[in-house]
Amino acid sequence: MKQELFDFLKTDLQFVKGVGPVVAARFEDVLGGRRVLDFLLHRPSGVRRRDITDNVADVTPGDIVTVRLNVQSHKVGGKFRGRRAPSQVVCTDMGGNRVVIQFFNVNFLDYWLKKLPIGEYRVVSGKLERSPRGNWIINHPEFIETVDGADKIPAVQAIYPAGEGLTQKTFAAVRDQVFRALDERVGLNDADDQTREFFDALRHVHFPTDPADLAPHAQYMVKLAYYELLAHQSAIAITRRERRDARHRRPHRAHKYDLMDRFYQILPFELTGAQQRTIDDIRADMARDVPMMRLVQGDVGSGKTMVAMAAAVAMAETGAQTVLMAPTDTLAQQHYAKLAPMCAQMGLVCDILTGRDKGGARREKLVSLRSGRTRLAIGTHALFSDDVAYKDLGLVIVDEQHRFGVSQREAMRAKGTNPDLLALSATPIPRTLSMTIYGDMDVSVINEKPAGRLPIKTTKLPLSRIDALVGRVAAQIDAGAKVFWVTPLVAETAESDMTAAQARFDDLKKFWPNIGLVHGQMDKKQRDAVMAEFADDNSDMPLLVATTVIEVGIDVPRATIIVIENAERFGLAALHQLRGRVGRGALQSYCVLLHGNYLGEDGMRRLDVLCETDDGFVIAEQDLMMRGTGELLGTRQSGWVQYHFVDYREHRDLFKLASRAAMEMNGPTQFILDLMFIFDRRLAVGA
């Protein structure tokens, strides 16, 4: 790949015309990165046609309608008797039907009303709904144009899985800019054939004209899926080869201190058999001359942190350092709060380093790391900032492994001499896939929960019964429980996620004044602060309303209830993850799956799986079996290896093909190396 193209792919989205730092940060939340490349890998999940109709009665409620309307009257909403009433614009269509356009966010009212002047015609496009009384309603239309300007409404629109604060229009605008640059500026035209073919496939997927273009077996989808798998399988093959190479040998570390016995003495509980077996696996790895590359798969709450601690202690017996990297500040703080006192009892220096550390205090921490004095460093990405150096980094532990990009993992490894790597993951993947996905790693499974853990009681409940639920929750809160209340990501409309969370927050605040709210549009610091207050055992914040931003792995022992709204919109694995926020202490915990009132048979069956089993492996298998193609929502949280184009269920034959091609490969071609960069599959030890 030409340098120019390579640089373009790495460009920060904030430098794309019309984006800027704020929107780029929102993209980062959705894409998991903020480079042009991250955008290109985020494909549309659907296609929407917006052909203009004259009569809303021709359109099925629930579908998108694009219709010419004559504006009749405005009715300003507001708060009436404590209830929020929407503002309404009453219109008629050409068939004489009365169509009401509603706006819930009264702040922008002037703006909307100006776009819909009384007596005039406008072409409006949005989701058509029918009220129980038979009224036609469009809430927050996506397009309002004059009749002359109706061609601004795209007849065919790619629909991207969006997130908080991003609209489909923004996605389309960025896409257009990016592909224009690829065509005109960044040297794609004189790239080699394979590279051009690859970007051509990307273009087809980003500009679909028909839903069939995005089906898993559509020509370009298969192509991209294959490239993606090839990148991954090649990385695995290379890593395997390199691990056998003498240059990548694990340095021999002499045993200097006895700490393990002391560790077992101060352990606050008996380890489970599975925890102990995993620790044995790790210690056996540490006795070999290839660096450890072990993945610990343990269901949520199976006690992976203590296994990590044992590994750190084993490493400290040689005098070498360990780094424990968590995906968020909050999680890092939690690990530190738990592990630092144990370290103190063993005479081990433990420290925490996150993005919050600044100035002199930070410099002191860095000196201690560089001198080797700090033996266990807990933190976030900050642990591998450029200016952080280690005296002898022996072990890198990555918690909730899937949240880290492979290249970040590599940067961390680069700070030591072939350090051991231990990855902890709470998301089981089906055994049938484990080899193709983690073929370069050894796997330990913690398939046992600490004794005395009660299974979480999971029930499903239609949204219409929410009042009864609030009553039940109230009783539990009176008894000292803490409650997570999760509101879903609404795939398309940007504001609605936040609005949904905010509305639920306002509702519930009437019952408990001191509840918290976190959502993706909040400033990160503020979000962390609320989260920390909720997690604090001594705080009197009984309930936290959250969009799915609530963190994987956060440990709030007093939290015994989690309510998940519109549970049918989440993937099974994601629901299981969320459910794992409770049931982490000795108390009985509950998970309530609130679902829409009209849940189809499939939806019912999916939720039943959750109600019936607590076993992450079983759920993962079921998830794989049921995983639909359009079901992108929640996959980011599902924790499986994040593929952009590969569909686990539909592309199983491609797994085999790619794996064979990678094994037979004699040293990677430049194109394969490019693919590995593109898909961030640079697992190789020294590469």
Residues binding Mg ion (CB under 5 A): 553
- Provide the residue type at 521 as one letter: Q
Q: How far is the CB of 300 from Mg ion (least distance, A)?
A: 8
- Nearest distance, CB of residue 234 and ligand ADP, angstroms: 31
Q: Choose, by CB under 6 A, the member of 109, 260, 271, 443 that binds ligand ADP.
A: 271
Stretch of 187-195, 200-208, 268-276, 513-521 contacting ligand ADP, by CB under 6 A: 268-276
Site stretch for ligand ADP (CB under 6 A), options 142-150, 215-223, 266-274, 636-644: 266-274
Euclidean distance between CA atoms 262 and 523, whole angstroms:
42
Q: Nearer to Mg ion by C-beta: 428 or 553?
A: 553
Closest CA to 420 of 314, 348, 275: 314
* Number of residues this chain uses to bind ligand ADP (CB under 6 A): 18
Q: Which residue is nearest to Mg ion (CB)?
A: 553
Q: How far apart are CA 488 and CA 132, in angstroms?
A: 24
- Please check whether residue 78 is in contact with residue 109, taking contact to mean a CB–CB distance below 8 angstroms: no
Q: Identify which of residues 516 and 580 has a Cβ nearer to ligand ADP in the complex.
A: 580
- Measured in Å, how far apart are the chain's first and last C-alpha atoms? 17
- In the chain, the amino acid numbered 516 is G
Query: x-or-dash pattern for ligand ADP, window 292-331, by CB under 6 A?
Result: ------x-xxxxxxx-------------------------
Strands 442-446 and 321-325: unpaired
Positions in 399-438 near ligand ADP (CB under 6 A): 426
Contacted entry of Mg ion, ligand ADP, none for residue 301, CB cut-off 5 to 8 Å set by kind? ligand ADP
Cα-to-chain-centroid distance, residue 513 = 30
- Give the nearest distance from C-beta 517 to ligand ADP in angstroms: 25
Question: Which of Mg ion, ligand ADP, none binds 450 (CB below 5-8 Å, type-dependent)?
Answer: ligand ADP
Q: Tell me the closest approach of the beta carbon of residue 60 to ligand ADP, in angstroms.
A: 44
CB 157 within 8 A of CB 47: yes
Smallest gap from residue 547 Cβ to Mg ion (A):
21
609-641 in b/e form (b: 16+ CB < 10 A) is bbeeebebbebbbbbbeebeeebbbbbbbbbbb
Q: Which stretch binds ligand ADP (CB under 6 A): 26-34, 267-275, 276-284, 363-371?
A: 267-275
- State which of residues 233, 272, 322, 560 lies at the interface with ligand ADP (CB under 6 A): 272
- Considering the complex, state which of residue 337 and residue 687 has its C-beta at the smaller distance from ligand ADP: 337
The least CB distance from residue 559 to ligand ADP, in Å, is: 12
Residue with tokens 């991209």: 224
Q: Which does 218 bind (CB under 5 to 8 A by kind): ligand ADP, Mg ion, none?
A: none
Biggest CA–CA distance in the chain, Å, is 87
Q: Are strands 590-595 and 293-298 parallel, antiparallel or unpaired?
A: unpaired
Task: Compute the distance between CA of residue 242 and CA of residue 218 in angstroms, rounded to an integer.
Answer: 36
With CB atoms as reference, the residue minimizing the distance to ligand ADP is 303
Q: Is 171 exposed, middle or buried (0-12, 13-18, 19+ CB in 10 A)?
A: buried
Which partner in Mg ion, ligand ADP, none is near 555 (CB below 5 to 8 A by kind)?
Answer: ligand ADP
Q: By C-beta, is 278 or 496 nearer to ligand ADP? A: 278
Residue 232 tokens read as 């991954």
Q: Least Å distance between CB 664 and ligand ADP?
A: 38
For residue 303, the partner it binds in ligand ADP, Mg ion, none, with Cβ less than 5 to 8 A by kind, is ligand ADP
Nearer to Mg ion, 553 or 639 (CB): 553
Look at residue 272 and give the partner it binds from ligand ADP, Mg ion, none, a contact being a CB closer than 5 to 8 Å depending on partner kind.
ligand ADP
The closest alpha carbon to 128, from 93, 179, 172, belongs to: 93
Regarding 555 and contact with ligand ADP (CB under 6 A), the answer is yes
- Which of 380, 499 has the CB closer to Mg ion? 380
Per-position DSSP letters for 562-611, written without gaps between them: EEETTGGGS-HHHHHHHHTTS--SSS--EEEEEE-SS--HHHHHHHHHHH
**Whole-angstrom Cα Rg for the chain:** 27
Q: What 3-state class would DSSP assign to 45?
A: coil
Tell the smallest beta-carbon distance from residue 333 to Mg ion (Å).
13
With residue 67 as reference, give the H or E element that holds it: strand 64-75
Nearest-approach distance from CB 261 to ligand ADP, in angstroms: 18
Binding mask 445-484 for ligand ADP (x = CB under 6 A): -----x----------------------------------
Residue 417: count of CB within 10 angstroms of its CB:
16
Q: Site residues for ligand ADP, window 493-532 (CB under 6 A)?
A: none
Site string for ligand ADP, 582-611 (x = CB under 6 A): --x---------------------------
How far apart are the C-alpha atoms of 581 and 551, rounded to whole Å? 9
- Bridge partners (DSSP) of residue 353 are 379
Residue 637, interface with ligand ADP (CB under 6 A)? no
CA 435 distance to own-chain centroid:
23
Q: How many residues does the chain have?
A: 687
683 lies in the binding site for ligand ADP (CB under 6 A): no
Q: Does 616 bind ligand ADP (CB under 6 A)?
A: no
CA distances to 217, 498, 571, 632, 649 from 629, rounded to whole Å, are 10, 26, 12, 8, 8
- CA 620 – CA 299 distance, rounded (Å): 11
| Phi and psi at residue 598, to the nearest 5° | -115, 85
Smallest gap from residue 624 Cβ to Mg ion (A): 23
* Residue 428's binding partner out of Mg ion, ligand ADP, none, with CB under 5 to 8 Å set by partner kind: none
Binding mask 64-103 for ligand ADP (x = CB under 6 A): ----------------------------------------
Residue 470 interacts, among ligand ADP, Mg ion, none and using kind-specific CB cut-offs from 5 to 8 Å, with none
Q: Using CB under 6 A, which of the segments 265-273, 383-391, 409-417, 459-467 binds ligand ADP? A: 265-273
Question: Per the structure block, which two tokens stand in for 54?
Answer: 């004259």
Least distance from C-beta 304 to Mg ion, angstroms?
5
584 contact choice in ligand ADP, Mg ion, none (CB below 5 to 8 Å, kind-dependent): ligand ADP
How many helices (H) and strands (E) the chain has is answered by 23, 24
**Which helix or strand (DSSP H or E) is residue 423 part of?**
strand 420-425
H runs (alpha helix) in 347-453: 359-371, 406-413, 431-437
Asked if 488 touches ligand ADP (CB under 6 A), the answer is no
Nearer to ligand ADP, 264 or 269 (CB): 269
The residues binding ligand ADP (CB under 6 A) are 269-272, 275, 298, 300-306, 426, 450, 553, 555, 584
